[in-house]
């Protein structure tokens, strides 16, 4: 078995996908009045930049069967940590923070 780790980042202009990345602003300006499942906030929004890298692991293994034969190589890719990205919605949050009405 072998494993390879790589940093993950998103390019500016890509679409936000909460399955593959986290919205950096939601950590800093958590709105407790919104339901917890509102994690889909910003779906499809254009990414401005990556704030923190994610981590992906790619591993390969060759299974050994009960009869002792070696199977074909199996490749598995796992996203261990999602990258955190900045979305345009952060501009409104920064304005709100400046005016003193921040929830942080």
Residue 5 exposed, middle or buried by CB count within 10 Å (0-12, 13-18, 19+): exposed
Residue 38 exposed, middle or buried by CB count within 10 Å (0-12, 13-18, 19+): exposed
Interval 20-76: pLDDT, tens:
999 988 766 665 455 544 445 678 899 999 999 999 999 998 888 889 888 898 999
The mean pLDDT value for 70-93 works out to 90
What is the pTM for the complete model shown?
0.69
């Amino acid at each position: 078995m072998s494993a390879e780790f790589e940093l993950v980042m998103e390019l500016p202009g890509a679409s936000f996908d909460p399955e593959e990345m986290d919205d950096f602003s939601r950590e800093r300006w958590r709105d407790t009045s919104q339901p917890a499942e509102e994690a889909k906030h910003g779906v499809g929004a254009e990414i401005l930049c990556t704030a923190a890298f994610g981590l992906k692991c790619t591993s390969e293994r060759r299974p050994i069967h009960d009869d002792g034969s070696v199977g074909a190589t199996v490749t598995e890719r796992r996203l261990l940590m999602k990258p955190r990205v900045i979305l345009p919605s952060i501009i409104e949050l920064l304005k709100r923070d400046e005016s003193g009405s921040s929830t942080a």
